[in-house]
Structure 1
């Protein structure tokens, strides 16, 4: 398993570096959006290029940071039943989901998006809007983003298998801090305790981990 763990660390390193870089695009897109809004309101001047740049930057944030979000276990989970199961059972469900859903879907989209980008690149496709931007750079984000998500999925799969074999820590544990949902749940419990009427059947995320 040493080779696979080394591969997992490499994939995590790539996604971490990309994710930490893409984070700064959030600031840029806010500045671009604010500047465009101010110029439009004060000078009654608008630019399709600036508007499309906002969309491009948002697409870059969403696609390029998907792998990093998955790596940090910060993606949205619609978890109704699995959270009540033992951790090892949860990990087995995670492995099933990665193998039969995540990786096939990502590989399919990656494969189909390559000719989509290539045709746009060969034609040097431009926006149909007056003064708009070229199209192929934003289309390139699709295969790159899903490739990074494939790397994150493979890394997660390796760590899940390693956990079941007792070779690595829990891959579903959050690396640091608490999510907004966890903070909200703890705040509700705290407020209920202050009111002297803590709701029955509700436990904090920390207590859930202790139960497991």
Structure 2
């Protein structure tokens, strides 16, 4: 169990580091979004050419990176959406069982299937150096390439959550892992 918990801590540290680094992409994403909005308004009002497809695509590329690469971080911090009214009424041990089984039966397989299914798409995109067809568009292959580490980070975090909940059920951890974490970001 100690080796599994050590691996879990490494995975948690990795997703924490990636999440905190990627979180900073929100700042330029917002700045570019504001620039796009102002630029498009001025373009219409006074006939300038401040806005471009390059900035628009850069904004949604940054959003995509944040969405993709933060998924493990969000799972680590229990920031995903939960709508199960039954789950809230379960005991801590019941919630640990749901978390543990959900991680190993759904999260990990889902992430690994997405990784496997994405491989040919990503390989083709990289091979042909896929780019946007819009004027001023950006290369798309680097963004598609980021799907692979995103799915791996999610699978790893799912495994880590499985280990932590198993450790709780075995009495190794004193607190349910999902309740020990703080708020996301």
Q: Same fold (TM over 0.5)?
A: yes
Q: Which runs of 5+ in 1 are unaligned?
A: 180-212
How far off is 1:74 after superposition? 1.1
Change in Cα spacing, 1:102 to 1:176, as seen in structure 2 (3 Å) is closer
Q: TM-score, normalised by structure 2?
A: 0.91
TM-score by structure 1 length? 0.80
| 2:13 paired residue number | 13
1:94 Cα deviation from its structure 2 partner: 1.5
Structure 2: how far apart are the matches of 1:33 and 1:105? 32
Quote the offset at 1:174 in angstroms: 4.6
Matched, 1:140 2:174: no
- Alignment correspondent of 1:23: 23
Q: Which has the higher contact order (CA 8 A, sep 6+)?
A: 2
Q: Distance in 1 between matches of 2:113 and 2:55?
A: 32
Map of 2:101 onto structure 1? 96
Aligned length: 178
Moved over 4 A (4+): none
SS of aligned partner of 1:124: coil
Q: Provide the rounded CA distance (Å) in 1 between the counterparts of 2:149 and 2:59.
A: 19
Could you tell me how far apart the structure 1 residues matched to 2:169 and 2:76 are? 18
Structure 2 distance, partners of 1:152, 1:72, is 10
* Distance across 1 between alignment mates of 2:149 and 2:105: 21
Superposed displacement of residue 75, structure 1 = 1.0
Q: Please, what is the CA RMSD of the aligned residues? A: 1.4
3-state SS, counterpart of residue 172 of structure 1:
helix
Aligned counterpart for 1:175 among listed residues 172, 178, 181 = 181
In our comparison, the structure showing a higher alpha carbon Rg is 1
